[in-house]
Amino acid sequence: MNATDDRETTIPAGRDAEFTGLIRCKRCNLSYTPSKSTSALRLTYCSFLCELGDLGFSMQGLEHMERVKKTDEQPKEPVRAGTE
């Protein structure tokens, strides 16, 4: 399986032949020009919103994430389910 198998390239005929470089968005299936995409994954999604909707996060948001530091506080006794 190729990485581009899920993308569909459109090749219109006749007077629309100038749009041969258009590909279809993986989420909304609309044709778009990758150079005008607002998504970080330009060859997969037509916009930032399609990327966010399909993945549940954006690549730019993922790049800027920071880890939450663990606190040194630990419970003195482990809490067990069903005991009171």
* pTM for the whole structure: 0.52
Residue 83: the pLDDT is 58
C-alpha to C-alpha distance for 25 and 46, rounded to whole angstroms: 5
| Segments in the chain forming alpha helices (H) | 48-55, 59-63
Per-residue pLDDT of the chain (84 residues; tens, 9 = 90+): 555 555 555 555 555 555 566 899 999 999 999 999 999 898 999 998 999 898 888 888 888 888 888 776 666 666 677 655
Residue 68: the pLDDT is 81
